[in-house]
Amino acid sequence: MEKELVVTSTAGLHAQIASKIVQAASKYSVDVNLYYENKVVDAKSILGLMSLAIPAGKNIKLIARGDQAEAVIKDIEKLLG
């Protein structure tokens, strides 16, 4: 499953949100990747997410594979929305 989202936090994808994304993604036994520009990182990696330095208002894409793909994307969407 894939979903395009916008980072709405005025601080962009900062440490607190990145940490919550990692926690949400880690609850599920799925592969979930976050795409930003020409980069892709594992959404279960705090260092990977922080390395993207995504500013506010930018589009990202989540791609999850597995039985719980829809659930993990919905959880992460709530954190970014």
What pLDDT is recorded for position 65? 97
Give the CATH fold of the 2-80 domain: Histidine-containing Protein; Chain: A; (3.30.1340)
Sign of CA dihedral 37, 76, 16, 27: negative
Quick check: is 14 catalytic?
yes
What pLDDT is recorded for position 80? 86
The catalytically annotated residue of 1, 3, 14, 20 is 14
What pLDDT is recorded for position 34? 97
Sequence spans of domains, the chain: 2-80
This prediction's pTM: 0.92
Residues of the chain with pLDDT under 70: none
CB neighbourhood size of 8 (10 A)? 11
Given a contact cutoff of 8 angstroms between Cβ atoms, the answer to whether 80 and 5 are in contact is: yes
What pLDDT is recorded for position 20? 97
